Amino acid sequence: MELGINTDYEAEYVKIEEIEESIRRIAAAGFSHMHWCYEWDGDYIYSRSEMEQIRGWMDKYGLKAKSLHSSKGSRGVGNGRMDVHYRKDYTSTIEYNRVAGGELIKNRVELAHILGTTEIVLHMYLPYLDYEEKPETKEIFYGQAYKSLDELQPFCLEKKVRICIENLYEAPGEMQLEQFDRLFARYPAEFLGLCLDTGHANLVWGNEFITKFADRFKDRLYSVHIHDNFGWGEGKGHGDAHMLPGECGIDWKALMAVLNQSAYEKPWVMEVVKPSGEDTTDYLKRAYEAGKKVLA
């Protein structure tokens, strides 16, 4: 079975030898694809030589890239407010920083092109805390986001790389439904789609996300982050736990029925985190088997 997993399943390594070893282990466990997730947050810029180095590791170990995670900007972006500014943020009201945020995303589009994948995953944090206090915030925010996406669209179409906006868990569910309704009404499917993060959706709606969110946007669903949790609470498997599919509370049978009717093209991609203390090789084998069992 072809199956993908995130490269930071254990850690986001800095040493080159450790990065390569983490990729080798993915292939050795049976995975056919990886989701490049390093530098998903922050304003790191990849050089062309680094991009080619990553592609070289993929070729060496026989891996393909299903997707990669773009950064939404400098670390800190996404606090629910618009009045805090960062160096790179594609939704910023400061033009210099908005443009810099767009350039950061273009860097990830170029990386996707080199790695041979046609999708990047991008966070769009809504300033939901401002919406009630300052209603005008909503249109200002979307105006900035639209401006950046308008500028990115021709570059993405040229590179044949789609941006997939990921559903998050900070903003209320109704605001997220409005978010994706707006985006998909404005932009074509060849440029903009949805990355369904199953764990985030479960935190917002519980298993109702399957009909309320996943089914609603299934025609624009081109990327997935598959993981499990028990919803909010205390203890193992609660919160944004990134557990293996089938370990917690998501109704996978009902969800797979929707996903199999969506626009998504396999392989499936898990975004999971190895429990502290578990042997890495054992965990990856267990992850692969969980994927085969639940996602078949």
Chain segment 242-258, per-residue pLDDT in tens: 999 999 999 999 999 99
Q: Is 166 exposed, middle or buried (0-12, 13-18, 19+ CB in 10 A)?
A: buried
Chain segment 144-155, per-residue pLDDT in tens: 999 999 999 999
Measure the CA–CA gap between 10 and 21, rounded to whole angstroms. 12
- Domains: count for the chain: 1
Closest CA to 189 of 107, 263, 268, 109: 263
Q: What is the pTM of this model?
A: 0.98
- The enclosing domain of 68 has a CATH number of 3.20.20.150
pLDDT tier for residue 57 given thresholds of 50, 70 and 90: very high
Chain segment 74-98, per-residue pLDDT in tens: 999 988 898 889 999 999 999 999 9
- Summary mean pLDDT of the chain: 97
> Is residue 34 within 8 Å of residue 65, measured between CB atoms?
yes
Of 129-133, 179-183, 191-195, 201-205, minimum mean pLDDT range: 129-133
Range of the domain at 178: 3-295
Q: Could you give the C-alpha distances from 126 to 168, 222, 240, in angstroms and in order?
A: 9, 21, 18
Measure the CA–CA gap between 133 and 126, rounded to whole angstroms. 14
Q: Is the pLDDT of residue 296 over 90?
A: no
Chain segment 90-140, per-residue pLDDT in tens: 999 999 999 999 999 999 999 999 999 999 999 999 999 999 889 999 999
